[in-house]
Amino acid sequence: MKQSNFSVSELLTAVVNVFDTIAACKEFASCKFGYGFIARSTPTFRAPKTTAAEWMAEFGETMPNIVKVTKCTNARAYDYGKAVNRQLAKQGDEANFKSEAMNGYEWVVPNIIKRAMKDGNLQLCVTFKEDGKTKFEPFYIVGDHFATTDELTFIKSHLYVAPNKSVKQSESGIADKDILMVRNFKFSNVIAVGQTPQIEEIWEGIIK
């Protein structure tokens, strides 16, 4: 990454307007393009203690703050249980899947925005399939700059990749490629939300 229309500090602090975003999200479920967003998160690395020497060789004795910024496009507002049952029916199986209760949360905008009942914090929800149209594209900020090519290679080689597969869906007979997965992003880390073409335009301004 050579330049950006956004400074590193802007990307690390920018947040969406909650009320405008809630209003917009009510329209996204029927949007033919799907909705999209750009959000920050803290990456998780595999065995950081046992690879400490490698980190020191790459970054020195002071570990920099590393932030992941992700673009998600073509996300749709699926009702999790109904979507799984549609897949079961499509493949000729009995559509009797029951999703687990959403303990501790309530929907603000069904299937897109949920709120923690304990502290009121909002989360943006994404439901997607491995081979679906929903796409995730990340880049990384290291300290006060965008990751260099060498830093990016190192970061990607040390990321912890959590299993996304649903045992319950697998046991119901759904193939891995058709399993519906869910990712949640803290609203306080969301930089932009909009229809997919809008998010693509914003992203081009960030990474150009």
pLDDT in tens, 125-134: 988 888 788 9
79 within some domain: yes
pLDDT category, 164, cuts 50, 70, 90? low
Asked whether residue 3 carries a pLDDT value surpassing 90, the answer given is no
**Number of structural domains in the chain:** 1
Calculate the alpha carbon distances from 122 to 45, 58, 185 in Å: 25, 36, 9
Q: What are the pLDDT digits (tens) for 113-158?
A: 999 999 999 999 988 888 788 999 998 999 988 899 999 999 999 9
Range of the structural domain that residue 109 is part of: 8-207
68 within some domain: yes
Q: Which two tokens stand for residue 46?
A: 């595999």
CA distance 8 to 174: 42
Q: Which two tokens stand for residue 146?
A: 């965008």
1 within some domain: no
Q: What is the pLDDT of residue 41?
A: 93
194 within some domain: yes
Q: What is the pLDDT of residue 24?
A: 85
Angle at Cα 125 formed by Cα 121 and Cα 127, nearest 5°? 160
Asked whether residue 96 carries a pLDDT value surpassing 80, the answer given is yes
3 within some domain: no
2 within some domain: no
Average pLDDT over residues 47-59: 83
126 within some domain: yes
CA distance 71 to 119: 27
- Give the global pTM: 0.84
Q: What is the pLDDT of residue 64?
A: 87
Cβ-contact 38, 191 below 8 angstroms = yes
Output the average pLDDT for the chain.
87
DSSP alpha helix (H) spans, 65-174: 80-90, 149-158, 167-171
